Amino acid sequence: MSASHVSVLLDEVIKNLAIGPGDTVVDGTFGAGGYSRAFLATGAKVVAFDRDPTVRRFAVGFPEDRFNLVEARFSEMDAVLGEGHADGVALDLGVSSMQIDQAERGFSFMHDGPLDMRMGADGPTAADLVNTLDQEELARIIFVYGEERESRRVARAIVRRREEQPFTRTLELAGFVEKALGGRRGAKIHPATRTFQGLRIAVNEELSELEAGLVAAERALKVGGRLCVVTFHSLEDRIVKSFLSVRAGRTPAGSRHAPPLEKGAEPSFRLLFNGAHSPSEAETKANPRARSAKLRAAVRTEAPVWRTAA
């Protein structure tokens, strides 16, 4: 079954994973199956993870002897596979195009739908956060996760309005945020973009899941196994950059995204290249949603898994 989602930096990910027949690779974010399909084409065995129960339909026709889709968060990969069993781990982060395009999922400020935003089927919705959080916490989420400089103004306006009528629909909130910000229609992005991003990240605990997922990948990979992570905004990229830099011995331990370990811990990763790789001009032109993507990659060393301080 096809889907509108286009896998970003796929050729780069395949190249840096360097997988082949008989290898076991983790697709941490199955989505519409683009990465898994490409991994299977190399002859590898794929264990895919996704907390969204609706994506299973995209796995129809996949070889049952070499493919397993696990309905769970990718931070659970080490518990499912065990330590040192994966030859490769790939994480394609963020919300997928198909989720954005499905109005009923509530991710889009361009299509009307329930104010949901959950990638899985449990936990609070975006409507729950918007209608119940106090003004200070709501502003924090919009500022930290959405990187919206006018977060206090947005939060204050939301709290005032919800006292009269709770928010339930995406276009309702998007239009209200646009009005609260003075209708910045001349900007490159919709005025509600950052507010929606902040709420989505909070609803799905995306940053803490990423931090836990990187540690899980460290455990799941065997010596020589490779990790590839594709991010789509600066918050994700900073976490991945910090984690890999610390684990590769490039920066002093103690990053807030990579807790300090026992003194003298040996590097558990070696960077495959410095910095991050971005999509080519041709890929960005063909798929505008790829424009902000960055790939970072590393290979697992012989060093034991780092033990974080309590």
Pick the last residue of a domain from 160, 185, 204. Answer: 204
CB 257 within 8 A of CB 247: no
| Residue 2: pLDDT over 70 | no
User: Distance between CA 129 and CA 253 in Å, rounded?
Assistant: 34
> DSSP label at 197?
H
Global confidence as pTM = 0.88
Q: Looking at residue 98, what is its pLDDT?
A: 55
Does 184 share its domain with 232? no
Does 94 share its domain with 113? no
Pick the last residue of a domain from 204, 227, 250. Answer: 204
Closest C-alpha to 169, from 119, 121, 109, 118: 109
User: Distance between CA 262 and CA 245 in Å, rounded?
Assistant: 17
Mapped onto helix, strand or coil, the DSSP state of residue 274 is: coil
User: Distance between CA 77 and CA 134 in Å, rounded?
Assistant: 35
Residues 69-77, mean pLDDT to the nearest whole number: 96
Strand bridging mode 45-49 / 24-27: parallel
Share of the chain above pLDDT 70, in %: 86
Does 130 share its domain with 175? yes
What band does 58 get if pLDDT is binned at 50, 70 and 90? very high
Residue 305 located in a structural domain:
no
Does 78 share its domain with 27? yes
Does 41 share its domain with 91? yes
Does 91 share its domain with 213? yes
Closest C-alpha to 36, from 12, 58, 4: 58
Residues 108-115, mean pLDDT to the nearest whole number: 83
Residue 22 located in a structural domain:
yes
CA triplet 244, 216, 210: central angle to 5 degrees? Answer: 65
Domain span holding position 114: 105-204
Pick the last residue of a domain from 204, 235, 250. Answer: 204
